[in-house]
A and B are shown apart, each in its own frame.
Chain A
Amino acid sequence: MSWQTAVVISVLFFSALIAITLAAFAWRRQEIPASKPFILLTLALAWWSVFYAFEVAATTLPQMIWWGKWQYVGITILPVGWLLFALVYAGGDRWLSWRRTAVLCIVPVVAIVLAFTNDLHHQFWTSYEAATAGGFSTYDASYGIGWYIYFVYAYLLMLIGSVALLRALRNFAAVYRWQLVLLLLSPLLPWISNGLYVLRISPVPQLDLAPFAFTISAVILGTGILRFNLFTLLPVARTAVIDSMSEAMLVLDSTNRIVDMNPAARALFRIEDDPIGQPVLGVLGAWSEAVQAYVDTAVASEEITLDIGDSTQHFHLNISPIANQRGQTQGRLVLLRDITMMKQAEEALAMAQVKTEFLAKVGHELRTPLNGIMGLAEMLEYGVYGDISAEQQDVLLQIIARTQHLTGLVNDVLEQTRLESGQFSLDIRPFTPFDVVNTLRDTVNQMITRKELTLLTEIDPDLPEVLLGDAKRVYQIMLNLVDNAIKFTDAGKIELRLMASDSAHWAIVVSDTGIGIPQAMQHDIFNAFQQAHYEITRTHEGVGLGLAIVHQLVQLMDGTISVASTEGVGTTFTVTLPMALEEIPA
């Protein structure tokens, strides 16, 4: 083997190695659409290089021809890989489908078959003869009709791919142009060198330089991938981004003429005629005051308001200079982001916050004097300050009941405020449902007795003795439901049942023999302040927060509430809550 042969073989294996490395790199980045055709392209290149090395290393003409045929597997796949890669990269991949890809492969497959069966028909190569060139053995082939058809086809694919990339160039920002130039350069090299070989005007006539050229291409592509993020920055996305972004974008030149305006900007300013090339003051004449204010502003980032149509809208305005590569300012980029909704939400939030704080303060201020009134009345009634008459006691009990009612209202309003403010969290601990029911019995006992009702409580023996949850809020749910039942029941009984619904849920069921809830009203009863809309409030005091609070608490606990009611017969509320059990350490 001559030293020239050794050098050529080494270079070819080196090419193959680079190509395989690039394929491996692309394999790891398969989420990027262009990576699959790129793998095909680089593997075809590697294949070509390796079998060309075998051909160069071969010593007899039949061996050379045999390895020459094997090269055609890579040679024919390569233009297909290039076209697919170029189309995907330039964004024309919508045209691609498996079927079309298969169609593209017909000619290459036929070419491979013709190459391997050439001895039968001589339509691919008409003759071969051994030759030596530049110190190593090779062979000279004359081409047949099959080869020429393939040759034209391969160059056609290369051409289409390059045109697709060139067309996409118009849409590419300057930052991507280098990548594109690199891409266009890369197929050009093998193209030229292969052409030189076929036309026999190569400096080394018997040596096809294409694999070497492909190596240089592969290095260029590799540089593109590693240095310019060729894979991650799909240039075509830029136009799509600007067209689909919700921010209004205007590009102005140094004389304040419109260079570019995205669809969002056109929609915002209701511009129907083509504004490109027009002075911005003319196009946005309706907002001349605002435009004048920024006519000489090179850099801005601030909030502005514009009257558009009948409404005042808030925007975040961003102006930045556009400079060329020498740093000279060539124009300005103007971005407008509609922040009207955000502004309104901020205002609403601030108002809600003020309201919440105010109500909380009022609530706290009310509780202390309420405590005084109730406590003093209770002491008098209890006889702390001496005996009182039955009549006095009756009056005191009424004062106490009224104060309790008022306290309940204050608590409800405060609770509703807290729930609405979103500053509410559950305090999850183990608790005993039995104790909660007992406390509730104690609390409502007086009210039950006063209205001569019966309260029945029942706890399902299947319900675990200890549950995990916010006992105080569970109590509040039960109390509000029972309190509500007492309020709307004039005779009969109220039942509170705790049941294990299934292995994952438990239920609080409160039923009464009260006046019932009209069908039309059942829908609304869980909305805050709803009771106030109905006649019923006049005879049954309340602002209608009790059930709304229950509803919100149940939702916070990921539970559900339902109501079944018949007018004049009674009402049943069922609250179903997820059953959480305390983890018992093993």
Chain B
Amino acid sequence: MKKATALIVEDDPTLVQIFAKALEAAGFETQTAKTGETAWQLLQQYVPSVLVLDLHLPGLSGRDVLLRVRGDGRFAKTRIVIASADAELAESLHDQVDLVLEKPVSFHQLRQLSSRLNPTGLLGPEPPRPK
């Protein structure tokens, strides 16, 4: 069975790394975009199962990306997770997305939540825990 896909739109490289690992641990195949424009270009090529979206992005903002995605029928089944430090803005978009996560977003939190959003139900390999 093909793995579910997730697109992470986030301009902070460390957070991209953490979010990607968390989603991979939840069984997703991830792609990342550092700007809204790049994200929108990628979204022209495929429809991810999950879209993790930062709101404050250089250029095309996360909110603009959200508006475009919500206005495009192709993404009707895409689950959208907002990960933002701007609690007020994030909360105001509460109705338009599946999940709102306020930064700091814990690796574990994102891993657990995104595994619930995984349509294939396939989990990534559970890494060995040290004794």
* A46-54, A166-174, A217-225, A382-390: which lies at the interface: A382-390
| Cα of A388 to Cα of B22 in the assembled complex, Å | 18
Min CB distance A182 to B, Å, is 64
With known contacts A384-B21, A384-B127, A375–B107 Cβ distance under 8 A: yes
Q: B15 near A375 (CB under 8 angstroms)?
A: yes
Residues of B within 8 A of A403 (CB): 104
Q: B105 near A375 (CB under 8 angstroms)?
A: yes
Q: How many A-B residue pairs have CB under 8 A?
A: 76
With known contacts A375-B18, A384-B25, A384-B127, A367–B85 Cβ distance under 8 A: yes
Q: Which of A152-204 contact B (CB under 8 A)?
A: none
- The A interface is mostly helix, strand or loop, or mixed, namely helix
Q: A368 near B25 (CB under 8 angstroms)?
A: no
**B91 contacts chain A at the CB level, 8 A cutoff:** yes
With known contacts A364-B86, A368-B85, A375–B130 Cβ distance under 8 A: no
**A393 contacts chain B at the CB level, 8 A cutoff:** yes
| Cα of A376 to Cα of B20 in the assembled complex, Å | 12
**Which residue of B12, B108, B127 is within 8 Å of A368 (Cβ)?**
B12
**B103 contacts chain A at the CB level, 8 A cutoff:** yes
**Which residue of A363, A370, A371, A387 is within 8 Å of B130 (Cβ)?**
A387
**B2 contacts chain A at the CB level, 8 A cutoff:** no
Residues of A within 8 A of B106 (CB): 374-375, 378
Q: B130 near A382 (CB under 8 angstroms)?
A: no
Residues of A within 8 A of B130 (CB): 383, 387-390, 393
With known contacts A372-B14, A389-B130, A393-B130, A379–B104 Cβ distance under 8 A: no
With known contacts A372-B14, A387-B128, A382–B85 Cβ distance under 8 A: no
Residues of B within 8 A of A376 (CB): 14, 17-18
Mask, B18-35, CB within 8 Å of A = 1, is: 110110010000000000
| Cα of A216 to Cα of B72 in the assembled complex, Å | 82
How many chain B residues sit at the interface, stated as a range, is 20 to 34
| Cα of A378 to Cα of B102 in the assembled complex, Å | 17
**In the complex, what residue of chain B is closest to A374 when comparing beta carbons?**
B104
| Cα of A379 to Cα of B104 in the assembled complex, Å | 14
Min CB distance B74 to A, Å, is 29
| Cα of A382 to Cα of B85 in the assembled complex, Å | 24
Residues of B within 8 A of A452 (CB): none
Residues of A within 8 A of B15 (CB): 368, 371-372, 375
Residues of A within 8 A of B87 (CB): 414
| Cα of A472 to Cα of B107 in the assembled complex, Å | 21
With known contacts A367-B104, A368-B15, A388-B130, A379–B85 Cβ distance under 8 A: no
Min CB distance A379 to B, Å, is 5
**In the complex, what residue of chain B is closest to A378 when comparing beta carbons?**
B107
Q: A382 near B107 (CB under 8 angstroms)?
A: yes
| Cα of A378 to Cα of B128 in the assembled complex, Å | 14
**A21 contacts chain B at the CB level, 8 A cutoff:** no
Residues of A within 8 A of B94 (CB): 427
Q: B85 near A364 (CB under 8 angstroms)?
A: yes
Q: B108 near A382 (CB under 8 angstroms)?
A: yes
| Cα of A298 to Cα of B33 in the assembled complex, Å | 67
Q: A372 near B18 (CB under 8 angstroms)?
A: yes
**In the complex, what residue of chain B is closest to A415 when comparing beta carbons?**
B87
Q: Which of B50-108 contact A (CB under 8 A)?
A: 85-88, 91, 94, 102-108
Nearest first, the 5 closest Cβ-Cβ pairs linking A and B are A375-B18, A371-B104, A372-B14, A378-B107, A367-B85
Residues of B within 8 A of A (CB): 12, 14-15, 17-19, 21-22, 25, 85-88, 91, 94, 102-108, 127-131
A-B contacts besides A371-B18, A382-B129, A393-B130, 19 pairs, CB < 8 Å: A363-B85, A364-B85, A367-B103, A368-B104, A370-B103, A371-B104, A371-B105, A372-B14, A372-B15, A375-B14, A375-B106, A376-B14, A379-B21, A382-B127, A383-B128, A383-B130, A403-B104, A407-B104, A427-B91
15 A-B pairs in the complex with CB atoms less than 8 angstroms apart: A363-B85, A368-B103, A370-B104, A371-B14, A371-B85, A371-B105, A375-B104, A376-B14, A378-B108, A379-B107, A382-B107, A382-B127, A384-B127, A387-B128, A393-B130
